[in-house]
Every structure is written in C-alpha cells, then in structure tokens.
Structure 1
C-alpha cells in the first residue's frame, strides 16, 4: 500500500486541477511552436502573432465545438438514464445477490464494465450507485464487506469505455469526413487520398478482435476482483440511504402538465420513431455517431423517467458532470489549432515513425496515450490533441488506422484507474476517498494493461 500512498501524495502535491493543466499545456505548446517551427524568413514578432491567430481559430472551431457539445450530452444523458426508476430498480435487484466481498466485487465490476461499454456516462454513475447500494444492503443485513474494494469495482467501467460504443475516438471517425477534416493541412494530398471517408464500428468497436479483447478484460478484471475480495478484511460501513427516486407531487395545472406520464410517453415515443426513421440504415451498417446515440438516449430517458419534471430534475443533477468538458475542451481545440497550423503534428509523428515499426507503433501509442491521459483526463480532448499524430504516424508506417486509433483508446482509458479526475462523481456518491480505492484500481490497471498489450501484439 506504500506505492498507492506515494502516488496519491504525488497527485495531491504536484498535479494541479485539469483546467490549470490545460492552460499549462497551452503555454507549453505555444513555446514549442515558437522555438521549433518558426520559418527562417519570418520575423519572431510576426510569427508569434500568427501562432496566436492559429490558437484563436482552433478554440472557436465550429466542428470541434459541436464535438464538445456531443460529448457533454453523452455524459449527461447517460447519467440521466441511471437516475430513472427502471435502472434504479435494476440496481436494487442486483444488490440482492451480493452477500460477501468477493461475490459483490465480481458482480459490481462485471456489470459496470458491461454498462460502460454502451455508454461511459451511464457506466460511471451506474457503477457508483451500484457500489453504494451494495454497501447499504450489507449494512442493513449485517453482511461483512470491504467497502473500498466495492467502490473500486464500481469505477472499472472507465477502463473499457473508450473501446466501447460511446468512445470519443471510434465514434468521431465514424462520422463522414471527420478524419480528413482534422488531417487537412497536416498530411500531403497523396496521404489524404489514403484516408477513408469513415471508419465504421465493424472495424473498431464491433470488430472481432476488439470484442475479444474487451471480453478478456471483463473476465480478467472480474476474476481479479473476486480473488482480491476473497482475501479482503471487512471494513466498517456507516451510510445513510441514498435516495435515487424522490416522489413528486403536482397541485397546479402547470405542475400536472410537467408531471404528465401520457405526455412524456407520447413525446418520448415520437423521438424514438424519428430516431428509427432517421438512423435505421446507419444502425444496420454500424455507422454509430454521437448524434445517433444522443437522440436515442434523449427519447429513452424521457420515457424511462415518465415525466418531464423528473427528466429535467435528473438533467439538473447530472449537469455538473460536464463542467470540465465545457471549459477545458476549447483550450484543447486551441492546442490542436497551434499544432496543426505550425506543422508540429508532422514533427511529432515523424519522431514516432523514426523509433517505431509496424508492430511496435500500436504499443508506443498505447503507452503515450496512457501518459497523455494523466494530463488530459478526457478522451475527447485527447483525441483532438493526439489523434492527428496517431493518424499521421500510422499512415506513414502502414499501420491499419483502426488498430492505431484503438491503441490510443486503450491507453487513454486504462490510466483512468490511476488518474482520479473521473472518479470524483463516484467518490461523491460512495463517500469513499481516493486513497481507499486506489490500491485496487491500480491492480485492475495492471491486469487490463497486460491484456491490452497482448491483444495489440497478437491482433
């Protein structure tokens, strides 16, 4: 446990807030651009002003701002779904099978990873609430339990999410022209001609090799938590009941309209009908996009909550989750604007190409993505900053783009078990501390890393 205590102390002492990190990365990128990319014939003052212009244009890039909003909706609507009565009831039913630490940890980790594969926001809050309700169930029934292990198991969804349906990188490369748009003015016309219009889910998320790696991670981590739980010492639990569904009363006509089940079911059904009409062909061809997922979750969320009042209350409870994305993403877009327009992407990708082979590039990408995630704790932000480098390097070495991009996704998600940023909602719900779950999330990280690396080398 000394290692985990050391890591926690290092994070607390030396790692500032993600917003401060984004600012420091911006300043560092500006410095690198001015030092390494200034043309000889251009004056320092003129080039500095040009770099500032690249930065400003990147911050307000229309396409990237749409991307930020899409990612915020994925997180909020996923959280909203968990707060609905049907999923809350499902959580309560699952807790009935949790009668000791080993079984509870296995159930919580397995179900959380399966849910997070569908939607990362849903998986994050589902795992947190499930862990809390398992602890409450144990407390109520006098079951001895090691609560920190259960809390850590509820966080494991964040080590599989980026390789899942709502993963930022695979979902964006499924949009027509997205890869070419981020590589424009970076790659040569010849290289741009090799970039496909889309890379659909049959090549990434739903490819046989990604599903096999995902299954191996689920089994490996579940078994690991079961074995760790077998040897665990019970901890004391003293928790008040966490209210997931609060009954509402309607007195005025306006409140009755807000609470109308019929109106909510009718409008939610309209959304789902429009969803099927608009996206049926895309679903069949596995062309899953952020708009597709968000439109579906919007309709489903309204129906599952059964009233507009409950739905909007759930949105209010969930909205704080996106504060980091809202304010940090434009800074990452600015970094991309600098790197793209100054040629830094090409310089960095050339370096990776010089030290890599076709076989080792995915491995280097995995480790570099894990490192970047510590400083850019957002898959969407990381895709914006690192994605063009990964794509350019893969094209130069002839590495299949789906494999290179998924290697980045694997590396990004695995160090969430080390980076506590996305654990904050879970810690708030479970009332645990980062230092309590960190020893067990680190074990999960090592197990998952081994599986991902073997998968990248074999497939």
Structure 2
C-alpha cells in the first residue's frame, strides 16, 4: 500500500476546513491560557477573552490583513494580464507530469522566497494555479494538491532569506538594546551585547547559505519522488476569460473605461510615485508589503491596457480573499492571548531552562516552531521571544547569530503545519488545507532534519 496515499486519505477524512481549524486552535489557546498561564485565578476567563477581543481588533494587525489581501488580489490580477499570463504559461511548459511540475514550482518558489516572502507567497500560488489550468486545458493527469504544496515551500525557507524578520531586526543599530531594556534579569549582560548583528553573520553566513542550498536540493527531490507515486486528482478550475472579449464597440462615457491613454497616464503616475518613494529601498532589497502592492497596482493597470479589463480581472481575483477576510482576525485573537498572557515567554523560558551550550540552538528551534503555531508572525514572534533567546545565548556562550537563526528556522519550518500563511495560496488554487497538508507535513519533517543537523554540526 502506498504510504502517501494512506496519509492523504486520513487527512481528507478527519481534517476539517481551515476555518474550523482556526476555531479549534482558538479554543485550545483559551484552554491552555486558563490552566497553564501565570495570570491571577480570579476573573481569569474574562481576562483571557478580553485579550482575545483586543487581538481580533488590533488596528496594526488589521492593517496587515488588508495588506495581505491586496498582495493576494493584486498579484492575481497581475497574473491575469495577457503579458504575465503568457510568460508564466511558457514556464509551465516544463510541467509535463506531477513530478516535474512539483520540482518546477518548488524550486522557483523557494528561490523567490529567499529574496522576499511576500513575492514568493503570491508567485508560488499563481504558478501552481497556472500548472493546474494547463493540466485542465491539455488533459494532463496531475496530482494538483502536491503541486499546490510545492507552491507553499517558499514559507519553509523565507526566514533565513533576505526578508527574514529576526535577522533584519537585529541588523538595525540600537534594536538589540531597545529589545532588552525591558528585561530586568538581562541588565547585567546588556553591555556585552553588540550594537547590531550584521546580516553577513546571519542571512549571508556560509552556513545559512549552505542550509538553504540543501533545502533547495532535497525538497524538490522528495517532491519528485512522491510525485512519481501519487495518483492524479480531479481538477476543478475555471480558466479566466474576460467578458469584454468580442463585445461591440462602446460609446459615450464607457470610452473612458476602455481608454488606453487614461490607463497609461494613471499607471505611469503610480509607478513614478513608487520609484520616488521606494527607489532607495530597492537597492537594498528591502521589499515591504506596501511597496509590493503599489508596484503591482501600477503594473497591473498598465498591463491590462484599460480600466475595464483591470476591473474584470479584479472581480475574478477577489473571490480568493474570503479566507483571509474572516480567518486572519481569528489568528490575531490567538496572538493576543499568547502575547498578553505571557505564554510565549513561558514556552521559550521552559526550553531555555533545560538547555546547555550545545542544545540551546535546538531547543530554541523547537520553541520557535511551537510558538509559530499560535503566533504565525515572524516579526511579532521575534519581539516576544527575542529577549529570552539573546539573554540565554549570552549566558550560555552560544554565538548570537546562531541563536537568532535557530529561532528563525523554527518559525519557518512549522509554516508547513500552520495553515495561516497558506490561506492566500488556498484562495488562488481553490485547494483546501486538508489537500496539501499530507505533503507539507512530509516536507516539514525533511526540513526539520536538515536544519537541526545544521544547528548541531555547523
């Protein structure tokens, strides 16, 4: 019996929808906070629920959710434009079966993720979608969920790349001192901490690049082997066709909607504003959500040639944001409970307490992975766990860059288990969490072995 097929059947039978997963995870967090947090017993449940409510409506996180919705929608709109669609279609000509498609999607997605996680998030999703559409159009037998899982692999390498939250934050002058100033027990050792930790010692260190290279090689090999064994699946994808094709010539005010000149002027204005505002950031590969969204907005209008075509593509792309719209706030509530109740520090502190100089990076890795399940935000996780990690590394004599990257590795690898960041991909590919999880969990196991071995030996 095929083990991959058995696991796939189990997940499809017992794993609920991604919304139900978010609800169950919320209830689990409430229970854990009630019984295991250090809060006062009186009024504990009321306090926990207040933390949850504040997290759900956290204004900063809601802005982030809207940014993610725009990344998803604008990226999809951009891909639906004739020029980009043509280029990606050309790329998919190498996807002749499930195995080759999985390799193509995983390699390109992981390479994109090393440069920027947001870019990889949308690129992997749309490339997987295009491969699925090709399979429908050309009647190619394909295991679409495996290809979808391959499109998610960028999230298992992103934190060790050029947009990694933890290594980029510690590279800022003064960040470490600001991070540690509210940790009383660390006051004695603050003077021993550096002003910053250069990315030359984290992201661009030889050992981090080596681990990334190993993942870039091993993950596609695993997907190729699995792709040779899994059976094709039914693919229900509607290929986008603009309604405006074949319509009669318009007149009156509708001409403005179809005006190439007006679209060219407006998109040109957006792109000029983009380069004025973000030109210096481009040279340092510092890509932010706002930066990416503004560029995709201007480019999408330009490549669709007029507002009518742009709006038709927008209408199609909006269908994929329902998961983010309602599920992100649920995860924000979980993050509110975990952060305000002190559970993040408790988890991190437990692992640190049982560690020594050799095992601290490994325990930091596992604590980062565990916290990521409840707090799926690299930057937010570093803000809470960072002081504990740096303080313990300093006391045990562990190199600070290694400690920082250990947390980053743990955070990124459990993205293969946590469906939070898969929501954009699921929206575009029309897959469900239960479809891709059997394969992403296998990749999580493979990645964990590689990263832990690296932390112990390198």
Considering the TM-score relative to the shorter chain, is it more than 0.5? Answer: yes
User: Aligned to 2:192, what secondary structure does the other structure show?
Assistant: coil
What is the rounded CA distance, in whole Å, between the counterparts of 2:265 and 2:240 in structure 1?
29
**Shift in Å, 1:330:** 6.7
Question: C-alpha distance in 1, partners of 2:359/2:448?
Answer: 15
Q: In 1, are the aligned partners of 2:409 and 2:451 still within 8 Å (CA)?
A: yes
Match of 1:41 in 2: none
Matched-pair contact (CA < 8 Å) for 2:17–2:433: no
Please name the residue that 1:233 is paired with.
231
1:18 matched to which residue of 2? 22
- Spell out, residue by residue over 1:99-157, the C-alpha distance to the aligned partner (whole angstroms, 9 max, x if none): 12221111011112222333333323322222222122123223232223222212212
In the other structure, the counterpart of 2:271 is 268
Task: Answer with 113-122 or 66-75: which moved more.
Answer: 66-75
User: Residue 144 of structure 1 is aligned with which of 141, 145, 151?
Assistant: 141
Equivalent residue for 1:297? Answer: 292
Post-superposition offset of 1:219: 0.9
1:213 aligned partner: 211
Q: 1:358 to 1:103 in 2, by over 3 A?
A: same
- Structure 2 vs 1, CA of residues 337 and 262 (structure 1 numbering), >3 Å: closer, same or farther? same
Q: Is the 8 A contact 1:81 1:304 kept in 2?
A: no
Quote the RMSD (CA, aligned, Å). Answer: 4.2
CA drift of 1:65 comes to: 6.2
Residues 102, 230 of structure 1: 8 Å contact kept? yes
Distance 2:410 2:417 in 1: 12
Distance in 2 (alpha carbons) for counterparts of 1:220 and 1:374: 24
The 1:180–1:133 alpha-carbon spacing in structure 2 relative to 1, beyond 3 Å, is same
C-alpha distance in structure 2 between counterparts of 1:257 and 1:137, whole Å:
30
Q: Specify the alignment match of 2:129 in structure 1.
A: 132
Per-residue deviation at 1:448? 1.4
Question: Which has the higher mean CA deviation after the structures are superposed, 170-179 or 241-250?
Answer: 241-250
Aligned residues: 433
With 329-338 and 138-147 compared, the bigger mean Cα shift is at: 329-338
Q: Deviations over 1:383-440 (max 9, x none)?
A: 3443333233223223233322221221222222223333333334333343333332
The correspondence of residues 250-261 of structure 1 with structure 2, limited to 5 A, is: 251=254, 260-261=263-264
Alpha-carbon deviation of 1:450?
Answer: 1.5
Spell out the pairing of 1:334-353 with structure 2 (5 A cutoff): 335-339=338-342, 345=345, 351-353=350-352
| Greater Cα offset, 423-432 or 225-234 | 423-432
- 1:222-249 Cα shifts (integer Å, max 9, x gaps): 1111222223333343432146998899
Q: 1:391 to 1:74 in 2, by over 3 A?
A: farther
**TM-score under structure 2 normalisation?**
0.77
Indicate how the Cα distance of structure 1 residues 393 and 244 shifts in structure 2: closer, same or farther if over 3 A, else same.
Answer: farther
SS at match of 2:220: helix
CA 76–454 in structure 1, closer or farther in 2 if over 3 Å, else same: farther
Partner Cα separation in structure 2 for residue 348 and residue 184 of structure 1: 21
Which residue number corresponds to residue 375 of structure 1? 374
The correspondence of residues 160-171 of structure 1 with structure 2, limited to 5 A, is 160-171=157-168
1:73 aligns to what?
67
TM-score by length of 1: 0.77
Residue 31 of structure 1, CA deviation: 6.0
* Change in CA separation of 1:353 and 1:135 when aligned onto 2, cut-off 3 Å: closer
Deviation at 1:316, TM superposition (A): 5.8
Describe the SS at the equivalent of 1:421. Answer: coil
Q: Structure 2 CA distance, aligned partners of 1:266 and 1:420?
A: 37
Quick one: structure 1 residues 164 and 23, their matched pair in 2 at CA, closer, same or farther if it must change by over 3 Å? Answer: farther
CA gap 1:398/1:439 in 2 versus in 1, 3 angstroms: same
- Equivalent-residue separation in structure 2 for 1:27 and 1:109 (angstroms): 37
Are 2:202 and 1:204 aligned?
Answer: yes
Call closer, same or farther: CA 1:143–1:330 in 2, change over 3 Å: closer
Residue 76 of structure 1 contacts residue 322 of structure 1 at CA under 8 Å; is this kept in 2? no
| Partners of 2:174 and 2:196 within 8 A in 1 | yes
Spell out, residue by residue over 1:33-72, the C-alpha distance to the aligned partner (whole angstroms, 9 max, x if none): 546xx8xxxxx87xx89x969x97x969xxx965874686
Conserved 8 A contact 2:33-2:337: no
What is the match of residue 91 of structure 1?
88
Q: Distance in 1 between matches of 2:410 and 2:278?
A: 33
2:8 and 2:190 map into 1 onto residues whose CA distance is 45
The reply to whether residue 190 of structure 1 matches residue 185 of structure 2 is no
Contact 2:110-2:154 within 8 A present in 1 as well = yes
Matches within 5 A, 1:41-60: none
Question: Could you tell me whether the CA contact under 8 Å between 1:363 and 1:453 is conserved in 2?
Answer: yes
Runs of 4+ in 1 over 6 A off after TM superposition: 244-250
Distance 2:392 2:349 in 1: 7
What is the CA–CA distance in structure 1 between the aligned matches of 2:98 and 2:442, rounded to whole Å? 16
